[in-house]
A = this chain, B = another copy of it.
Amino acid sequence: MADFENIATEQFVEFYYKAFDSDRASLAALYGQDSMLTFEASPLQGVGNIIQKLQDLPFKQVQHQVATLDAQPSDERGGILVVVSGALLVEEERRPMSYAQTFQLKPRDGSYYVFNDVFRLVYPAA
A positions within 8 Å CB-CB of B: 1, 36, 38, 41, 43, 67-68, 70, 72-75, 79, 81, 83, 85, 87-88, 95-98, 100, 102, 104, 115-116, 118, 120, 122-126
Contacts and interface: CB of A to CB of B under 8 A. Distances in A.
B102 A83 contact: yes
A36 to B, nearest CB: 5
B125 A72 contact: no
A82 to B, nearest CB: 9
Which of A38, A81, A96, A104 has the largest number of chain B CB atoms within 10 A?
A81
A98 B122 contact: yes
A100 to B, nearest CB: 4
A103 to B, nearest CB: 10
B83 A118 contact: yes
A81 B98 CA distance: 21
A98 B124 contact: yes
